[in-house]
Amino acid sequence: MANEKSRLWDRLSVQSKFTMVFILTGLIIFVVNLYLFINIDSVIIRINRIYDSNVTVNSLSDSLDELQNSLRGYLDTRSTDTMEEYYRQETEFQNLLLELEDSDMPGNSVIITENIRNLSKNYIKAADTAVNARRGNIVEKYKISYQQALSLYGYINTYLYSLNNELFRHNTQSYSGLVKSFRTLEMISMIMLVVISMIDVFLLTLISKNILDPVQERELVMETHLKDAELKYLQAQINPHFLFNTLNAGAQLAMMEDAERTEEYLQNVAAFFRYRIRKGAEASRLRDEIALVDNYIYILNVRFAGEINFNKEIDENALDIEMPGMILQPIVENSVNHGIRGIEREGHIRLTVTGTETGVRISVSDNGIGMTEEQIKGILEGGYVMKDQEKNSNGVGVRNVISRLELYYGEKGIFDIKSEGKDRGTEIIIDLPRKIVKNEEILHV
């Protein structure tokens, strides 16, 4: 099961892996933030409620004072306005008294609250009696009732003060505990953020490793192909400087003896080997690859008395595209050795370069012996080796060219072979994605 999950992960694209990591990280962050938000919000609500009881008690005390003042005002003036003010204050006081009764009171506060409630009812009863007696102008009665209300007013204030102090002590302890809880949540938040960051870094490192390992492996395979091609091409460990100096000395000797064709031949051979040594492991430009093919065809025509008919149709605007080194020459060499070599009719090789919307199409076609579908499939899939390849070629086989193109561009389908069958010729097509080289720097289009 673990191996299946590992294989499934390896098959995912880089974009899919990063998307999954960001979704997972975002989900973890969301869950953690949701947890912290709920708990912090709960703590804040509890902190806000801590002193609500104190606020209610203070409001009740203020309302009691207003009610007492309005009672005295009516008894002094007996006006309609002061009577309305009294009843308004009485209603407000009773509402606040109900709020106090509904509050959760700790410990001794319950008894104090009950005393306040009972005293307040008696106070309101005495105050109403005094008001009604004043309205009826029963002087003795409203004076006695007012004195009772005034006495109850003092008791109520005393109990309110005691209740306020009791609640304040209790709420202060509760506040300290909630503050500690809040600090703990802050610490948990910091720890979770650190853990999430570590998980994020671990996942990104894991994905980066999975990305870099195939890239490094690809570069290693590319390097192996290039070294193998170079070793097979040279067929011996010849010192490049010695080889160039020898060829240049031969060219100078030919020039001194007025052997112009020999001089030109040696210069082409020197240019051919110099390019191979210098560009074998580097990126090149299409125009340089075509120049190498020209050197190669010239050398062959000198060797075989001009029997290679080579034609070109080149789009000059497409020659600055970047490509791996030593791609075209092995393809042309393959057309010579396995296409037109040995046919009775006159052999022709044609190189066509055409710019496209996405890059450049290169076509190398010949009128040689052609290929079967099985041969084409075998070459493209790496299961077919041409006869006498090691003996007659530079060792850079078609499969090597295909592999280097796929490794260089990171995609398949760049290289294709077409043939209508035996003696119908062969065409090799290479579709290069566009990467233009200017001033020795690569500009992606």
DSSP 397-417: -HHHHHHHHHHHHT-S-SEEE
Same domain, yes or no, for 178 and 290? no
Does any domain span residue 10? no
Specify whether the CB–CB gap between 380 and 417 falls below 8 A. Answer: yes
Does any domain span residue 230? no
Partner residues linked to 428 by β-bridges: 364, 417
Residue type, 190: M
Does any domain span residue 274? no
Instruction: Note down pLDDT in tens along the chain; length 445 residues.
Output: 556 656 665 666 666 766 776 777 777 777 777 776 676 666 666 666 656 677 778 888 898 899 889 988 888 888 888 888 988 999 998 888 888 776 666 666 778 888 888 898 898 998 899 888 888 888 888 889 889 988 998 888 898 888 878 777 776 766 666 667 767 767 777 787 777 777 777 776 766 666 656 656 666 766 666 666 554 554 443 445 445 555 666 656 566 666 666 766 666 676 666 665 555 446 788 998 999 899 888 878 877 766 788 999 999 998 989 888 888 988 998 888 888 888 888 889 999 999 998 899 999 999 989 998 888 888 888 766 555 444 444 445 788 888 888 888 888 889 999 998 888 899 999 999 875 444 444 333 3
Structure tokens that stand for 389 in this block: 């390849």
Contacting residues for 52 by C-beta, under 8 A, at least 6 apart: 103
Residue type, 300: L
Structure tokens that stand for 355 in this block: 């710019």
Domain that holds residue 408: 280-444
Does any domain span residue 314? yes
pTM of the model: 0.44
Question: Which string of b and e fits 391-423 if b means at least 16 CB within 10 Å?
Answer: eebbbbbbbbbbbbbbbbbeeeebbebebeeee
Specify whether the CB–CB gap between 405 and 380 falls below 8 A. Answer: no
Domain boundary among 158, 174, 209: 209
Domain boundary among 178, 194, 209: 209
Same domain, yes or no, for 292 and 155? no
CA 272, CA 277: separation in Å to the nearest integer? 9
CA 398, CA 428: separation in Å to the nearest integer? 10
Domain boundary among 156, 184, 209: 209
Does any domain span residue 398? yes
CA 38, CA 121: separation in Å to the nearest integer? 42
